Amino acid sequence: MAVSPKDVRHVAGLARLGIPESAVAGYVEQLNGILGHVDVLQRVDTSAVKGVVDAAEQGMPLREDVVNPVALHIPRERWAPKMVEGFFLVPRLATHEDAGEES
Amino acid sequence: MSTHLLDQGAAAIASAVSEGRTTAAQIFAEAEARRVATHAGPDSLNAILWPATSAPDAPVSHGPLAGVPVALKDNIATRVLPTSCGSKILAGWVSPYESTVMRKLREAGAVLVGKTNMDEFAMGSSTEHSAYGASRNPLDRSRAPGGSSGGSGATVAAGIAPIALGSETGGSVRQPASFCGIVGVKPTYGRVSRFGLVAFASSLDCVAPFGRTVDDAALALEVISGHDPLDATSVDVPVPSMRVGPGSLEGVVIGVPREYFPASLDPAVRAHCDRALEALKAQGATIREVSLPHTDYAIPVYYIIAPAECSANLARFDGVRYGMRIEGQGVRELYEATRVTGFGAEVTRRILLGTYALSAGYYDAYYRKAMDVRRLIAQDFDDVFASGVHALFTPTAPTPAFSLGAISDPYEMYMSDIFTVTANLAGIPGMSLPIGRVNGLPVGGQLLAPHFAEPTMFRVAYALEEALGQEAHR
């Protein structure tokens, strides 16, 4: 299951990482190196394993359905790089006619 | 040895402040003077990235940590200093809310002295993968303090604070504790709230304390433990006393897993472990060789599960909601430009690896398989503890602190977590404490215990610390 340059470009796209073409070969080598060590797992017989680890063996607890706001000490206008009236500001989506222009 | 109160442990400081013999401001001034002295020039420790240069106006003057200086890893949210996770992508970012552990420390009287350096987003074992430069080991400044919580470890080892918090995903507190000659404790998964800890790999991450001594670490863990409704993985169990103190180990069975003592183990590390086991035996413990047969698979399992979970957790850093933003043509370009500019090489590598392991066609071969083998690793521990073993003793790391820049191969770096990562995969508690030195460099011994059996683990640790005495630092 060797990783190819095409695979690296594909997963970089999925992960929204704009890695330069010049870096692709290096990541191919590194990922194949790491996965080469990981392939040892294929030798382990896991046919009898039932269920994953639940460290606390407690399942997912639920809490009371009541509003319990966490105290916030920074006004929401200052949370993000660009905000207007409490909304996050992003470029227009590509589905809009004037895509690419800042809204 | 210094007789300054700052060197006498957290409990002594808290007593002195509570009784009015000194003030939090006076203690803070000494801590700040030490920070300044150790953070100057080309050999700066670079352990504290964002210092609190003044004491709070009205700290809590009574409490178990009254006036005690504490430092927090840069991925634990605080209201007064940045939380940048050692990353450019969060440069200067200040959290709008406070983590539960910081609130508990503050309410116990602790005084924050700074946020500490770390491998970016806790991905690394040396603190060299920080966007703000590597930290140095206070015992030998040409060497790494370990990682990823190396800044917190170096801060405690340098005597700036008796207690610091780090985070653990695969050994990121125990390994730096071993490298810096101090105590580091990974609690049971769910023992300490993670509300306000920036997520890396959610099925593994824990907030974890460092202390100069076993008692400092026990006190810190006592303060930060407990159920928190704001963290769905926090477990609602009572918090027992961790400060059990030294005593006889009569009736305690300590297992020595043979897989943690391979032929390739540094002979000096092995010799110190043998001496520690003799000391435990002299305290009344029964030593029994045991086997954890799936140990060799822990690093491969970890380096599928942790990158897979990080690729999901770090998706939120996209230039829209937090920190840095690089503009582009449209939203996708904004995401891609921001993330490739903001993340360093190790984080980028792990996101790519994790995304690959989770992508269509590879999920069963990698992620599913790794989760199944993880179950077998956890079962190994269950079987050993069910056989009557109360705790396990192993080396914390295969070697003492390595030189800065000595390890360039990613997988070789990953292998420095080989003895610690199993506890994270199984969710059990573990701790490292000093057991000796090799050429002046500390060696750590590791104790592991069943889920929520921290008091048993501390019982062994107190006894070992007392039995070794100053030999632990020679």
HEC per residue, B38-89: HCCCCCCCCCEEEECCCCCCCCCCCCCCCCCEEEEECCECCCCCCCCCCCHH
Return the DSSP state at A77: G
- Radius of gyration of chain A from its Cα atoms, rounded to whole angstroms: 23
Distance from CA of A5 to the nearest CA of B (A): 12
For residue A84, the 8-state DSSP code is E
CA dist., res. B179 & res. B175, Å (int): 6
The answer to whether B126 is a known catalytic residue is no
Specify whether the CB–CB gap between B275 and B436 falls below 8 A: yes
Q: Which of B191, B341, B356 to mutate to test the interface with A (most CBs of A within 10 A)?
A: B356
**Rounded CA gap, B262 and B295, in Å?**
11
Active site residue B88: no
pLDDT band at A53 (very low <50, low <70, confident <90, very high): low
**Average pLDDT along chain B:** 96
Burial of B293 (0-12, 13-18, 19+ CB in 10 A): middle
Residue B410 CB coordination number (10 Å): 18
Nearest to B242 by CA among B456, B435, B430: B456
d(CA B261, CA B72): 33
| Residue A26 pLDDT greater than 50, yes or no | yes
Chain B residues with CB inside 8 Å of A59's CB? Answer: none
- Write down the catalytic residue from B84, B99, B135, B148: B148
Higher pLDDT, B3 or B322: B322
CA dist., res. B349 & res. B138, Å (int): 30
Amino acid present at A70:
V
**CB contacts, 8 Å: A1 with chain B:** 362, 365
Identify the closest residue of chain A to B322 by CA–CA distance.
A80
- What sign results for the dihedral spanned by CA atoms B473, B398, B267, B406? negative
Residues in chain B: 474
Q: Hey, is the C-beta of B347 within 8 angstroms of any chain A C-beta?
A: no
The encoded tokens of residue B279 equal 């000391």
| Residues 6+ away with beta carbon under 8 Å from B430 | B174, B185, B186, B420, B423, B446, B447, B448, B449, B457
Q: Work out whether the CA dihedral B315, B318, B320, B324 comes out positive or negative.
A: positive
- Whether the CB-CB separation of B194 and B104 falls below 8 Å is answered with no
Alpha helices, H only, A15-62: 21-38
Tell me how far apart the alpha carbons of residues A7 and B145 are, in angstroms, rounded to a whole number.
Answer: 36
Which pLDDT value is given to residue A1?
A: 63
| Neighboring chain B residues of A88 at a CB cutoff of 8 Å | 320-321
Residue B107 has pLDDT above 90, yes or no: yes
Summarised one tens digit per residue, pLDDT across range B355-386 is 999 998 999 999 999 999 999 999 999 999 99
Interface contact A81-B188, CB threshold 8 A: no
Q: Hey, which residues 251-280 in chain B have their CB within 8 Å of chain A? A: none
- Single out the residue of B190, B77, B207, B191 nearest to residue B149, CA to CA: B207
Using a CB-CB cut-off of 8 Å, the residues of chain A touching B335 are: 16
The whole-angstrom separation of Cα B377 and Cα B365 is 18
pLDDT in tens, B217-230: 999 999 999 999 99
Q: What's the pLDDT score for residue B222?
A: 98
| B92-127: burial string, b at 16+ Cβ within 10 Å, e else | ebbbbbbbbbbbbbbebbbbbbbbbbbbbbbbbbbb
Average pLDDT over residues B427-447: 97
Contacts of residue B313, defined as CB under 8 A and 6 or more positions apart, other chains included, come to B199, B200, B201, B202
What distance in Å separates the CA atoms of residue B348 and residue B100, rounded to the nearest whole number? 29
Backbone angles phi, psi at A46, to 5 degrees: -115, 15
Query: Nearest by CB to B356, which of A3, A49, A72?
Result: A3
B327: left (phi over 0), alpha (psi -120 to 50) or beta: beta
The token duo for B105 is: 């420390």
Q: Under an 8 A CB cutoff, do A73 and B366 touch?
A: no
Gap between the Cα atoms of B405 and B341, Å rounded: 23
What is the rounded (10 degree) CA torsion for B116, B122, B127, B131? -80
Q: For position A85, what pLDDT does the model report?
A: 87
* Token pair listed for A57: 């063996």
At A101, is the pLDDT very low, low, confident or very high (cuts 50, 70, 90)?
Answer: very low
What average pLDDT does the segment B197-226 reach?
Answer: 98
Q: Average pLDDT of A32-54?
A: 88
Residues linked to residue B50 through DSSP beta bridges, in sequence order: B115
3-state secondary structure of B355: helix
Q: Cα separation of B180 and B182, whole Å?
A: 6
Task: Say yes or no to pLDDT of B139 above 90.
Answer: yes
C-alpha dihedral (B252, B257, B263, B269), degrees to nearest 10: -40
Helices B369-386, B298-313: inter-axial angle, 10-degree rounding: 120
According to the model, what pLDDT value does residue B358 have? 96
pLDDT number for residue A78: 85
Residue B2 confidence (pLDDT) above 80: no
> Phi and psi (nearest 5°) for A56?
-95, -10
Average of per-residue pLDDT across B442-456: 98
Contact criterion met (CB below 8 Å) for B417 and B299: yes
- pTM, rounded to two decimals: 0.96
Q: How far is A86 from chain B (nearest CA, A)?
A: 11
In this predicted model, what pLDDT tens digit does every residue of B11-47 receive, in sequence order? 999 999 999 999 999 999 999 999 999 999 999 999 9
Query: In B, residues 371-390, which contact A (CB 8 Å cutoff)?
Result: 371-376, 378
Span A66-88, average pLDDT: 86
Closest partner CB to A34 (pick from B95, B297, B411): B411
pLDDT tens figures, B237-282: 999 999 999 999 999 999 999 999 999 999 999 999 999 999 999 9
Q: Can you give the pLDDT at residue A93?
A: 77
Q: Return the pLDDT at A102.
A: 41
Burial of B58 (0-12, 13-18, 19+ CB in 10 A): exposed
Q: Please tell me which of the candidates B335, B369, B372 has its beta carbon nearest to residue A16.
A: B335
Residue A49 has its nearest CB partner, among B96, B303, B376, at B376
Q: Which residues contact B66 (CB under 8 A, 6 or more apart)?
A: B13, B14, B17, B18, B24, B59, B60, B108, B109
Based on C-alpha coordinates, what's the Rg of chain B?
21
Residue B193: exposure state from Cβ atoms within 10 A (0-12, 13-18, ≥19): buried
Give the count of beta carbons closer than 10 Å to the beta carbon of residue A81. Answer: 18
